[in-house]
Chains A and B, each alone.
Chain A
Amino acid sequence: MKIAITGVGIVSALGVGMAANKERLLSGKSGVGVPRILPTCHKEWPIGEVPFTCDELAVLAGAESSTLSRNILLGLVALKEAVADAGIQSPVPLVSGTTVGGMDITERYYHRWRQGDNGQIALISQHEAGFTTAELARRCGLVDAGTPSTACSSALNAIICGAGMLQAGKARQVVAGGTEAMTLFHLNGFASLGILSQSLCRPFQPDRDGINLGEGAAYIVLEEEQSALKRKAAIYGYLAGYANTCDAYHATTSSPDGDGAYAAMSNAMKMADIQPASISYINAHGTATVNNDASEWNAIKRVFGEHMPEVESTKPLTGHTTSASGSIETVFSIIRMQSRRYSYVMNNAFGFGGNDSSLILSSHPADLPSVSYCNIKECEAVETAGDENYSAYIPMMQARRMTATMRRMVVAAYKAIEKSGVPHIDGIIVGTQWGGMVPTVNILEQMAEQGEQDISPTSFMNSTHNAAAGTIARMLQCKGYNMTFATTAGGMDAAVEAARMSIAAGMAKNMLVCRYDEVDEHWQSLLKMIGKDSKVITKARVICLD
C-alpha cells in the first residue's frame, strides 16, 4: 500500500502556518531569542517562542477563551490548518504526541493550590497529556486515537502510529503530529541537566555547548493513496519507511556509537527498500548537546559511509521543540524535499529514555507493507502490590533511581515475562495516565518553595511518561520497538491493541505490555478538590506471535 501526505499545519517560532514557516526556513532567519512570553527569570537562555500570547493564540485558534493550556492552543492552530488543508470533513483518527500536557497551567496555579486555594482548580484536569489530544480531537471533529509520549520523539512516533493504522486498514485518513508548549518545568529541568546554551545553539559544531529550547506544533494528514487520488487531493509527498527503536543505554545520555540511532535509520531504510545513496537529506535530531550530536553523527557515518547526504539540524531556527520536534521537522523535511527536488529525505527524532525514531519521505509513491493480523497469544497478566521484594530483580544502583511504584512496575514486568515462558522480549509498550507523578510533583514543590533554581536532575529525568518503558528496556537490554502512550482510560486495552498492531506490522514478535500509574499524595489531594481520584496500577503481560 502507499501513504500520501495530503495536508500540513504548523506553528513554530518561525511563525503561524505553512507559508510563514516555509518562507523563514528558506531564508534561514532564526526565531530564537530572549524569552518574552514564558514568565521565567532565566533570560540568559534563549528560546524559540511562538511570538503570540495565549490570548492571541486563542483568537488565532478560534477558541473561546484563554483558559485552555498553551499546549492545546498551539496544537489547535496547527491542527485546524492541517484539517482545512486536506479538506477533511469526517471524523478521522487523530494521533497527537505531547509530554508537557497542561503543565503551563499546572505550574501557574500549583503554588496556590498546594495551600488549599481552590481558585481555577478545575483546570487541573488539563494536566493529563491525554487530555490535550482528547480536547484537540473534540474541537476539530476528529477521533482521539492516542497520545504517544516518548519525550522528544513523541510527534515522530505519532506519525509512525498513524501510518500503522492506515497499513492495518483501520482508516483511510489519519491526522498525526504533536504539540509542545514552553514551560518553566522543562526549561528548569533541562537546565538542571546542564545542557542549555546561553547563545544560539550550534548543532554538530566543535564548539557546541547545548540546547535552545523551543515550542510549537505540527500535524500532517496521512492518506491512503487511492483515496487521495480519487478526490484529486494535492500531495506533498509520500511515506517511504520508518522505524522506532530503543538505545537501551542510559536515561538521558545517548550511547557513544549511537546504536539506537543506527538501528532506527537502517531499519527505516530496510522498510523503504533503499540504499544509503538514495537519501539526499537528513533533518537530524541535532540538539547541539555535546553528547547527542557526537552519538548521532557517529551513527550517520556508520549508516551512510561514503554516501553522506546533506545533514541539517533546524534547531537554531526554532529551538528544540521537544515533543513537537518530530512533526515540525517532518514538515521542514517536506519543504526541503520539494524546494531542492530530492527523491528521498530522512527525519530523525530521539528522546530521553533512548526512544529513537527515524522517518523516510519520498517525492514519489512508495510501497509500504500492508499489515494483516496474525494469530496472537495474550499471556497471563501479572499485577504487583506494594509489598513486593524487588531486590531479587533490581540491583541497588538501579533501584535507587526508581520510585516505589517504578520498582513495583519492573517486578511486574519480570514476573510477566517469567510466566509467559518467552525467552526474549523484543518490544515494549507502556500505557500511563499521569506518567511519573512523584518526581513531577517533587519538581513542582521545589519550584513553589525555592523558585526557578536547584531543580533535581534525577526527578526531571524520571518525570517523563516514558521513564518506565526506558528503564525496563535498559534492564532487559531490549533495543526493539519502544512506545509509551499517555492514556486517560484505566485499563490496558489501548496498549494491548497497539501491541497487536505492532506485531502484525512485523515490528516485534514478543512484546511486553505494561500499565503504569503512580500516585502522589499532594496530587491526590488536589484531584480530590475536583472530585477525582487516581490509583496505583502496575500491571504487565506478554503478547506474542502464537
Chain B
Amino acid sequence: MKDFNPSILILSDSTSSTVGLERKIHHMVIADKKIWPKDTTILNFSIPGTTSADALAYLRLLKSKTKKSLKAIFIYLGNCDTISTENPKGYYSYYNHIKHIIKRNVNSGFTKKRIKNKILFYQWNKKVDLAIEQPETPENFEKNLSKICCLAEKFGIEIIMVRSEANKFFIPGLGKGNFIFYKFLGINDKISESIEFPDERLKKALFFHENQNYNKTLELYKDILENPLEENFGSEFNLMILNNYAVAKAEFGYLDEAKHLLRIYLHERFARKEIGYFNLAQIEKIVGNQSTYEDLIFRSYENDKFLYRIRKPYQNILDGISKKFKNIIYLDMKSAISRTDYLDHCHPLPEGQKKLAKLIEEAYSKIGLTGNEKATIVNDLYNPELANGNQSPFNFYFKSISDIDGSKIRELFKKYFNLVEKEIVADYDLKINNIPNEIQNACQYYLKHPLFTNFDDIKEIQQFEASDIGRFPENFIYRFIIPILKKIEIRQPQLLEKFNKSQILVHSSDSFKRILKEQTGVNFDLLKNIRCKNFGLNRVKRIIAKIKTLILEDLNRGNQIYTRLKTTMYWYFRESLRFGSHSRNSMLYNRVLYEYVCEALIISFFYNKENKYGLENDLANLYNKVLKIIYTHDFYCQKFKIYDNTEKLLADYNSKIKDLIKNF
C-alpha cells in the first residue's frame, strides 16, 4: 500500500472510477473546479466490479496515518453487490483481514478464483449453471457498509453516501450466461453473423428474425424444438428458443399468443425471469397498457440478478445505515438524476454526472471542504478480488503488462514477421516456433489502426515494451502516437484546433501519457523511444486508402445502436479505460474507430505539410467526409432513448448512413 495523505477517499465501483481520457465523471468535474482548500488530494480506489467487501478491505489496508489525514469518505456502492457471482465475498471481517495478511506474508500465494460460468462472448456455453451463482446478501452488504461507517466514526471522518440508483429501462440480464442468444422485444440487434453455434438452424433463425422474416423465423425455431440435435446444450437452451419464438410472434403481431407463451416461459425453473418479464412488459407497452408495463418492468428489474443494477433490498440497507450513523450526509440520487440521464445500465451521461457533481459539491461544502484551489485525484487501483485477499495492482491483475521482457519481445516479433513472410502463422506454426499468441494478437490489433496499413509498418518498430503486448495492445498505439502528437502540438498546433472544434476527436499527448500510466503503471518518459522512420508519401497514401476501407466497412453495417447496447458487457470495461467510466452517446456507435481515423488523419496532415507531399486536397476532402459521418452518428445517437419509440429515428439513421456511403 502506497503512502498517501489524502483529504478524501472514494470507495466506489465503476460509477466513480476516474480513469480515461474524458474528465466527465462526477468527481473529475468537481476536482477541476476551484472550490477546494489548498493541497486537496482525492484518493480513489474505484474500479469496475468493486463491492462493499472490497471497499472495506481497502479501508482496512490503509495505513493509520492515511486514515487520520482523511476528512471525508465518499461512498457510492451497491450496483456490484447485487449481481450474482460464483464467489460471493461475504463480510470482510477483521479475521479475514488478518488471514489475508498472514497469507501474503508467508507468500503461500493468492490464487485467482476460477469461474465455471464463463462468458464465451458469441458462443453458446452449455456448461452455464446460473444456479451456482448468488449475489452478495443484503445482510453482508449492511455489515460491510456499517463497518466502514464505524471505522470512519472512530477516526472522526465524515461520510458522504449516495443512495445509488440504476437505469430501470435498460435491457436486463446482460451481465451473465448466454444472454447474447436471447431476443428482446423492441431490441433489434444484429448478432447472427457473429455467433458460433453447431446447429446452423439457429444462426439462420436469428438472421431471419433480425431481418423481420417472421414466417421463416418461426418455422426454424419450431424445427429446432421439435427436431433437436443429439448434443445436449443444457437446460437453458430450449427455454431460450421458447423466449425467442414468443418475441418473434409478438413482432409478427400475435400479441396474445406471445403473452401466453411468455407466461409459460416464466413458470419454468431455469427461465431467465428478468428477460421474460421484460418481454411481457414490452407487449403491454405496445397495447398501450402503461401501468401494467411499468409494473412488469419493475418486476424484471427486481428479478435481475445478472446485471450491475442496485435493487430495492440493497437501497433499503443504504436508507437504514444513513439513519444509524450520525456522521453521514446522505445524497438521494433520484432527486437529481432522471431516466433521460442514463444510457447504459447504471452510469449517468455527462449531464447527469454534472447534476450529481453539484449534489456532491454541496455536501463537501457542508463539511467545510471549501477553498479556491483545484483538487488532485490520485487513483490507487487494485482489482475486484481485493476482499478475497488478492492485493495485485490493476496492471498485474488484468495483465496489461506481459511477463516477457522487452528484448525477448523484439526477438519474438522478428521471428513472427519471418513466419508472416512465409505465410505460416497457424496456431500450430506459432507453437512449434515458441511464439506466444500475445505477439500475433497484438499485431492483429495494431493493424486495426489506420496508421498501420500492413506488416511492413509494424516491422519498422525497433523497440517493443512489455506493455505493448499485454491484454490491452492499444497501449502500444498510445505509446506510438504520443511523440508524434507532441510534435504536432509544438509545430502545428492549428491542426489540433482543426480536429477539436466542437468536440475532442484527437486527444492531447499528455492525456495519452496519463492513461498509459494508469493502465500499465509505466511512466511514458521512462520508456524507450519507438524508432520509426518518417511517414513517407506512400505510407500516407496507404493510410488514406485504409481509412476509406475501414469507414466503408463500418457504414455498411448500418446503425449499430441495439447491438452495441446488447453487448455492453463485452466492450464497456475496455472502452472505459480509454474514455472514462461514464455513459457517452458515442457509446452507441464505434467511436474508437473514428478516433483512430482522426489520429491517423492528423498525423497524415502533419507529415504532408512537413514533407510537402502535395496531398492537401485529398486529406481535406477526407477530413470533411469523416467529420460529416461523425456528426451524423452523434446526431442520431444523441436522440436515441431506449424507452421511446425509436423505429422512425432508426429508419432515418439508416437512410442517412446509406447516403453517406453513396457520397463516400
A and B assemble together: no
